[in-house]
Amino acid sequence: MAIQWFPGHMHLTKKTISERIKEIDVVIELLDARLPGSSANPMLAELTGSKPALKVLNKQDLADPARTAVWLEHYNALPATRAIELDASETAPARRLIKACHELAPLRGGMTKPMRVLICGIPNVGKSTLINTLIGKRSAKTGDEAGVTKAEQRISLADDFYLYDTPGMLWPRIIVAKSGYNLAASGAIGRNAFEEEEVALELLDYLIKNYPEAITSRYKVELPPGITDEQLLEEIGRKRGAVLTKGRVNLQKAAEIVIYEFRAATLGRITLETPAEFAKGLAEGQVL
């Protein structure tokens, strides 16, 4: 069963973005570097049209660096688009954000034409963390109220640079079955919307093919040719002592271990999709 996720309507978000977009120079979209394609909301592209776009691959500290480079190259090849990678440990990301926005909208800047940027991202992608980091830096420097006007959700990153937080909630919109599993594995969708066991099996299926060494070294298991994800999950459960009466494996517990260790990158730095794989998923019509 594919992940079913109906978090609610985005009418208000849609309306407020489309009203605000007129006065925006650059749209920053925060993506999860472990699943950039799946963590994008296609509605945003529809609403922002041809506005210059900055894709921020956040949580890059958890993602596979080689694949992050591939995704950056992919986005940087798109028209009016730039991409950078970030992570929460970075203490001064403002400089890089400002630079990338000026490259995208070179005619904006200065007191008469300040740069106006909209920042968007699905829940859990790290938007609050990034905004807090940006505010912390500003307030530490100026000692004022951080240049934040709550009512307008406007953050001043420089005298001529304003960042607007997205009005409303930009929920993920799952259009490909695999994206649903990737979003669930990453923690972007509610626990009640999926079965851990199903998500862990999908995750293991991908890891066997793409990151076998992450599994063998973490769980000290063999991966004989033809091993199924079900057999692997059972083996992991057994190794971790997730055993019920009469030696049966507690598959729920085993699934939780695998998902948790993926999220925490205890399994290593892993990216669940490449640009080519994501495009193939869309083209093959696994569309829900």
| Residue 92 to residues 87, 157, 161, Cα–Cα distance (Å) | 10, 11, 16
Distance CA 175, CA 138 (A): 38
CB of 112 to ligand G4P, least distance (A): 33
Least Cβ distance, residue 61 to ligand G4P (angstroms): 5
Beta-carbon contacts of 281 under 8 Å, excluding residues fewer than 6 positions away, are 37, 176, 177, 178, 179, 273
Ranked by CB distance to ligand G4P, the top (closest) residue is 126
- Report, in Å, the least distance between residue 227 CB and ligand G4P: 30
In the bound state with ligand G4P, the residue whose beta carbon lies nearer, of 84 and 105, is 84
User: Measured between alpha carbons, how far is 245 from 249 in angstroms, rounded to an integer?
Assistant: 9
**Residue 128 binds to ligand G4P (criterion: CB under 6 A):** yes
Region of residue 42 (left: phi > 0; alpha: psi -120 to 50; beta: else) = alpha
Neighbours of 20 (CB within 10 A): 16
CB of 270 to ligand G4P, least distance (A): 13
Distance in Å, CB of 169 to ligand G4P, minimum: 10
The single-letter code of the amino acid at 145 is E
Residue 187 annotated as part of some ligand binding site: no
Among 82, 108, 127, 178, binds ligand G4P (CB under 6 A): 127
Residues 6+ apart with CB under 8 A from 50: 80
The answer to whether 118 and 21 are in contact (CB under 8 A) is yes
For residue 192, say whether it is annotated as part of any ligand binding site: no
- Our finding on whether 88 is near ligand G4P (CB under 6 A) is yes
Quote the crossing angle between the two packed helices 251-263 and 196-210, to the nearest 10°.
60
Question: How many other CB atoms are there within 10 angstroms of residue 173's CB atom?
Answer: 16
| Cβ 287 to ligand G4P shortest distance, Å | 26
Looking at 127-135, 145-153, 195-203, 243-251, which segment touches ligand G4P (CB under 6 A)?
Answer: 127-135
- For ligand G4P, which stretch binds (CB under 6 A), given 56-64, 112-120, 190-198, 233-241? 56-64
Query: Binding to ligand G4P by residue 261, rule CB under 6 A?
Result: no
Distance, CA of 162 to chain centre = 23
Question: How long a stretch of residues is the chain?
Answer: 288
* 3-state class (DSSP) for residue 119: strand
Only segment of 122-130, 145-153, 231-239, 253-261 that touches ligand G4P (CB under 6 A): 122-130
Q: Does 166 bind ligand G4P (CB under 6 A)?
A: no
The enclosing H or E element of 148 equals strand 148-149
Decide whether 38 or 58 has the Cβ nearer to ligand G4P: 58
125 scored as a contact of ligand G4P (CB under 6 A): yes
The minimum distance between CB 266 and ligand G4P, in angstroms, equals 12
| Choice between 61 and 160, CB closer to ligand G4P | 61
- Residue ranges for the binding site? 58-61, 124-129, 168
Residues that bind ligand G4P (CB under 6 A): 58-59, 61-62, 87-88, 121, 123-129
